[in-house]
Amino acid sequence: MGKKEYIVPYSEDARKRHYHQTNRGKVTKFMVQLEVKYKGIWREVVRYDCAHGYVHRDSYNLRNERRKEELYLTFGDAIILADDDIDENWEIYKDTFLKGNIP
């Protein structure tokens, strides 16, 4: 079983946290999230994961209110989508979050 975990810094106050676990080349567990530093604390903004046994995306605002969206993807496809989406849209998500809205 292989595990990978790393952080990709985008700016001083924005980063992507990536974790995944594989078994025989197949993703068995993952979490990819955008984090923004707000008032000195790293806060989750958008998170893709497979907690509860299914793929979903959680999006948060400053009041920690959450919107959950189920994604009908394999774990492998979802991790690719998550990495690409956050890499491409992190600035929009950050700005939306800092304005108090759910991205």
Helix (H) or strand (E) holding 75: helix 75-98
The model's pLDDT over 29-67, given as tens digits with 9 standing for 90+, comes to: 999 999 999 999 999 999 999 998 899 999 999 999 999
Q: What is residue 73's three-state secondary structure?
A: coil
pTM higher than 0.85 = yes
pLDDT of residue 19: 97
Between the CA of residue 64 and those of 3, 37, 58, 60, 100, what are the distances in Å? 29, 14, 11, 6, 10
C-alpha 2/C-alpha 22 separation (Å) is 5
